[in-house]
A and B are shown apart, each in its own frame.
Chain A
């Protein structure tokens, strides 16, 4: 390998360090109008009337629109088309978009919004999971879903769960809570639209041009070929820019109405309202084990606080129950999940989508079981590790798996076993897994998940792909793969990406799918191109390696005419035979293990993380620098969630939608991170590669809590671990109460009877099928 596996600079590095990368808010086409959105000041209210007449009279205002102008509902999942770009019937959270203005200056648009008079009939807000489970005082938040304000209920059972518990020598139950938090990308969402010759063009800081394209087409009632969506340079997503958003639709509509370019950049506060962040999840878990700590059965319940709309919520709900089995061999498993609607900004996918919460619960729950049995928690966990090339009880196909090696690496490097036990100092260990792309698309279709086209002419090569560079390095991965196959350097490859007019489809930068899926598509296209070039060069009596690429290209073009190839990737159909099996399967899983070393002050409750060791099975590092960057960034975000980040509400509205009060770790809050890349050469990944962008976040929060227990002897069963929680747990211990801070109980939820699913055959050969 010439370029794969080498720590080469990213192909977009120079553009970004010179300030030349053009983000959506950097665009200002001639005659651009600025858009501001009026948002609901009430968490829950019927909209009685909207009077925009005064706003229209403000000098400089060119258009004012309301929900009546954009009545068609959209939503990321086909089953939950419950959002409107502008609501004219009902507001469901503080920040829900109600009206929008296009004006010559942003300050004029803001003043015009202020001049819009909306009459509301205020309804009782529903602000917690418990309240959502009760009968609504006024009316439901959404008209669909389960009883009261329940959105979705699921119940699945794999194998003989009751039998497994009967067989267990020890059974334990625990309740955990993972507070919601948000992505907080440094770039505030921004979109610019033009309407020229009957065609809409939208530049946006989105992670998925394709889904925005679909939503625009639906709401604007324009065929997709009259809409072009282009991903602008992207200032950070982490899942937060994966839904189609109101402002994207609004600027397109305003451009159509005014015939001028229209731009909308959200303020930081509005970014908190756009949200789609981590669901707050309450969890209950019950596990049976043998005397030596082997799991015999597990029963896991989750309750997700979904906010006001569906977003990815149905998928998020399934994800809270899906991947427990991918790290631990659980022979019998029951999962009951529930998502409720509340009057808060909608939750959705954030790095690790729906799985960091159950991972947190599971890892700490197993720690506690091990202590009940006087077993070493690490050993007990290892005893239950899944093996490569198996199928889990819920039918997930595990192929390459470097869990053991990951654990070995961090345990050895951190000298975890030799650690000195001094009060106030602690170390904690945890593991996790994540998908390399979801095995099924958001909307049902049989098309490939990613396509790449390659064109060679005039001595140059260009690769076209719908994938969106969001900072994770996807452009570099594509360039590296094409370069490797053609014998070039990544910087020799021109890229055209994330443009629905010029690039073939890719489903976008979410669920860690780009390296795996777009990478495989690129590999196929590049190999086809290489074959053409090799044939042409060999016909001239020489070897491909011996001629310069420019010459090979000329020979190829002379022999075959225009040189283009294409590749595509469709994940294997490996979902299990049951309803709901679409969430969880992935062509490959990454694995991580982590050790956290910290000091916790019993007097103040303050926690100071000294160091984090993390090992990540990425299959194969196409660019080790980028993999390290993803792992370090994940650890950072995991520490933020574990220690300080929380999206909380007070009196019906976001308590602190600002960068000052929503605490994101600074340079000084970030400990040293030692990263180990573990390579297992996945059989289906491009060159053996798997994901790296999300998985390494997951073990961090439970490792922090395990380390706090190690240091102080108290369990913090709730994220984030604030000093007040630590102090309170210590106080309880002193009073002889259980040494714990966390949710006292799990509510009673009307789960339906579980769908019983026969587990797959347990032997490896059958599993591989």
Chain B
């Protein structure tokens, strides 16, 4: 531990495609996507609850699929499309999932919400009218301590209904 910080940091220049914008960054290779999004790109909408892959809070989309940003290395993500919660809304119009979450109170403390929204978006992009079981399966990697998941389930159904 003590001596780790005496090691040199290897930095690479990377172009990351985040929310449709290409951003060129100088990234230490040992920084995770979570850290780079939050600390180097000020995209703090992506939250974290464990940094060990155990809670799903840090979920973002990579090429449309939910991934845990705390376990992703930006050096491995060149050329892949990354979507964070900041990229969900179209301009000032909320994405139907965001609108449904806001309307039904599916975000209480809101801390799990960005990850939930992105996991749900990926689901609906694949499967426009998922069953309740399919919604539960798709969101099963995202823990929430506030809602008991009930309002989240309803919100995803509501958004799915509106989007089709």
Contact = CB atoms under 8 A, between A and B. Distances in A.
A518 B94 CA distance: 31
Given A111-B2, A233-B110, 19 more contacts: A12-B110, A13-B107, A17-B98, A18-B98, A19-B86, A26-B44, A111-B1, A186-B109, A186-B112, A186-B143, A188-B49, A235-B109, A235-B110, A629-B147, A632-B151, A637-B145, A658-B52, A667-B142, A667-B152
Contacts of A18: 45, 85-86, 88-89, 94, 98
Interface in B110-156: 110-114, 117, 135-137, 139-153
B11 interface: no
A736 to B, nearest CB: 41
Contact of B84 (A19, A235, A236, A634): A19
Contacts of B1: 110-111, 114
Given A114-B1, A186-B143, A629 B105 contact: yes
A19 B114 contact: yes
Contact of B52 (A58, A237, A268, A635): A268
B51 interface: yes
B94 A186 contact: no
Contact of B85 (A19, A23, A668): A19
A190 B37 CA distance: 19
A15 B109 CA distance: 11
Contacts, number: 191
Contact of A670 (B45, B112, B148): B148
B102 interface: yes
B148 A632 contact: yes
Nearest to B104: A625
A165 to B, nearest CB: 41
B84 to A, nearest CB: 7
Contacts of A12: 110
Given A186-B144, A625-B104, A659-B50, A470 B149 contact: no
A13 B112 contact: no
Contact of A187 (B104, B111, B148, B153): B111
Interface of A: 9-10, 12-23, 25-26, 28, 58-60, 105, 107-108, 110-111, 114-115, 183-188, 233-238, 267-268, 470-473, 625-626, 628-629, 632-637, 658-660, 664, 666-668, 670, 673
A659 B151 CA distance: 23
Contacts of A632: 147-151
A633 B102 CA distance: 17
Nearest to B97: A17
B55 interface: yes
A14 B145 contact: no
B59 interface: no
Nearest to B143: A664
Contacts of B117: 17
A166 to B, nearest CB: 46
Residue in B48, B113, B117, B146 with the greatest tally of chain A CB atoms within 10 Å: B146
Contact of B108 (A472, A637, A660, A664): A472
A659 B143 contact: yes
